[in-house]
Amino acid sequence: MNEPIKSRREFLATVGVAGAASVLVGSSEARRGFAAEGQQKLAIDGGTPVRKTLLSSSPYGPQFYDEVEKREILEVIESRKPFRWWKGGSKVLQFEEAYAAHIGVKYALGVTSGTTALSAALAALEIGPGDEVILPAWTWYADYDTVVLAGALPVFAEIDSSLNIDPEDIEARITPRTKAIIAVSLQGCPADMGPILEIARKHKLRVLEDFSQCVGGRYEGKYLGSMGDIGISSFQQSKTITAGEGGAVVTNDPMLFERAVRAHDVGALRSPYREGLGGGQLPGFAASNFRMNEFTGAILKAQEQDLETICKAVRSNARKVRDGIAGLPGLRMRKTPDLEGDLGVTVFLDHGTRQRRDRFLRALRAEGISASSPGGSVILPIDERVENKVTVHPDWPSFNTPQGRAIRYGRECCPKTIDIQGRLGGVIMDPNFTNDDVADIVRAIRKVYLAMGAA
């Protein structure tokens, strides 16, 4: 099924057989229908589009704002207590307890963003000058920036066709100075935690899970964030649940939690954490302020109750689309290590080449279906300020060690990532797509895919 098909006629002939085998159960009418689908004139060539108006997804969380969010935020206003550590009782604390229970970890800490959550987690892991941290070449700036801001050296590994770090490319990047791996779960797809944890155990490395783009996702039945030494998530608007901005650190380890708490609150360990951690084991240290306010806590407490509803709806819509296009000849989908735990944020096809991907996306948009290449991340090694190792001060420790001076970013360090990011693309799903919307997505993908034929 994955062999290249030479001509369009040959392709359509194959469609009947291969399609019938896996989808249409082999009747000759079905075969004719399948081939006929591929002969419809595409909207991009002047044919009738599947939809008249463009179907596209919106940020998930705000679609679920309702009476609960209103009540929670009103309570903060009426209490005149916007700061968590004033006068007892705290929405932030209630959110933290609910989130920790949901993810299945002992501790959760609310902070101002995913980026500050990363800084707190790196501080918890005691990562600093001289240390190296392995992260995927395709991810959000924050994973790189916070490592640099900690004074440590970011080392990139390639991604695979899941768009997440390729476990097979990690070991080659390990040196005696490597201290941690950031396992990022991108665009709804869980990172392949099994092999990542195994490599980390073997080389005595720490694992920091960044599940900002996969909040509510699971891997082999466990929630993301519960498997590494420490995990972080963002609640910025484009994530599963949101208060516009916000973040959290999660862990089962009391020492890591104490350090994260101190890192987020001027080195202090306030009540109730002090009591919860037996008075604390560590002295204070120089730290910043990443504290979450009560308004954010109130919204996130309410959103946390919507988390499973949102995840179920997105997953279910993605499954319907996947089922509707399964059996298309030669079809290759974005890889996932766990289809059950995957959030289904994307239904991405692997189009083989960038040229073909771009043509597919243009044709799909013309049919009235918003279509995109992988987004929400950056190929960091080829980003100008990364490639040039630009920092706020010329003597910044990250790039002034022998390793930091020697390291070369740029295209040479991630050719596979550049290729894969350029090949994949498709539709971003939405929890509130209707059955008709989903049927339109299926019709449009089939129509374009079949009409485009072989590359």
245 or 358, CB closer to ligand PLP? 245
34 or 144, CB closer to ligand PLP? 144
Under the criterion CB under 6 A, does residue 236 sit at the interface with ligand PLP? yes
Under the criterion CB under 6 A, does residue 317 sit at the interface with ligand PLP? no
116 or 317, CB closer to ligand PLP? 116
Under the criterion CB under 6 A, does residue 114 sit at the interface with ligand PLP? yes
Tell me which of 14, 178, 213, 336 binds ligand PLP, using CB under 6 A: 213
Which span (94-102, 113-121, 366-374, 408-416) binds ligand PLP, by CB under 6 A?
113-121
Contact in structure between 391 and 120 (CB atoms under 8 Å): no
* Least Å from the CB of residue 93 to ligand PLP: 20
Contact in structure between 398 and 153 (CB atoms under 8 Å): yes
142 or 227, CB closer to ligand PLP? 142
Under the criterion CB under 6 A, does residue 234 sit at the interface with ligand PLP? yes
By CB under 6 A, how many residues form the interface with ligand PLP?
A: 16
Integer CA distances (angstroms), 68 to 234, 246, 414, in order = 21, 19, 46
Under the criterion CB under 6 A, does residue 131 sit at the interface with ligand PLP? no
Contact in structure between 180 and 127 (CB atoms under 8 Å): yes
AA identity, residue 72: E
Rounded to 5 degrees, what are φ and ψ at 286?
-60, 125
Give, rounded to a whole angstrom, the gap between the first and last alpha carbons of the chain: 14
Under the criterion CB under 6 A, does residue 139 sit at the interface with ligand PLP? yes
The DSSP call for residue 41 is P
Under the criterion CB under 6 A, does residue 162 sit at the interface with ligand PLP? no
Interface map 237-256 toward ligand PLP (x if CB under 6 A): --------x-x---------
Which span (107-115, 293-301, 323-331, 433-441) binds ligand PLP, by CB under 6 A?
107-115
Integer CA distances (angstroms), 74 to 203, 236, 243, 245, in order = 50, 21, 15, 19
Residues whose CB falls within 8 Å of the CB of residue 442, separated by 6 or more in sequence, listed in order:
320, 321, 324, 325
* Least Å from the CB of residue 187 to ligand PLP: 9
Give the span between the Cα atoms of 244 and 94, in whole angstroms. Answer: 19
Tokens at residue 281, please?
Answer: 């084991």
Tell me which of 18, 184, 318, 420 binds ligand PLP, using CB under 6 A: 184
183 or 200, CB closer to ligand PLP? 183
DSSP-derived secondary structure for 210-224: E-GGGTT-EETTEET
Site for ligand PLP in 335-394 (CB under 6 A): 376
The helices-and-strands tally (H runs, E runs) of the chain is 16, 13
Under the criterion CB under 6 A, does residue 140 sit at the interface with ligand PLP? yes
Which span (32-40, 72-80, 110-118, 157-165) binds ligand PLP, by CB under 6 A?
110-118
Give the span between the Cα atoms of 112 and 391, in whole angstroms. Answer: 23
Closest residue to ligand PLP using C-beta atoms: 114
Contact in structure between 121 and 260 (CB atoms under 8 Å): yes
Contact in structure between 422 and 354 (CB atoms under 8 Å): yes
* Least Å from the CB of residue 357 to ligand PLP: 22
Tell me which of 18, 111, 125, 142 binds ligand PLP, using CB under 6 A: 142
* Least Å from the CB of residue 27 to ligand PLP: 46
192 or 367, CB closer to ligand PLP? 192
414 or 450, CB closer to ligand PLP? 414
Give the span between the Cα atoms of 329 and 16, in whole angstroms. Answer: 9
Give the span between the Cα atoms of 8 and 454, in whole angstroms. Answer: 6
Please report which helix (H) or strand (E) contains residue 110, including its range: strand 107-111
The DSSP call for residue 225 is T
Contact in structure between 360 and 351 (CB atoms under 8 Å): yes
Tell me which of 113, 296, 346, 421 binds ligand PLP, using CB under 6 A: 113
247 or 329, CB closer to ligand PLP? 247
Under the criterion CB under 6 A, does residue 304 sit at the interface with ligand PLP? no
Under the criterion CB under 6 A, does residue 188 sit at the interface with ligand PLP? no
69 or 143, CB closer to ligand PLP? 143
Contacts 24+ apart (CB under 8 A), 267-271: 270/85
* Least Å from the CB of residue 116 to ligand PLP: 7
Residues that bind ligand PLP (CB under 6 A): 113-115, 139-140, 142-143, 184, 210, 212-213, 234, 236, 245, 247, 376
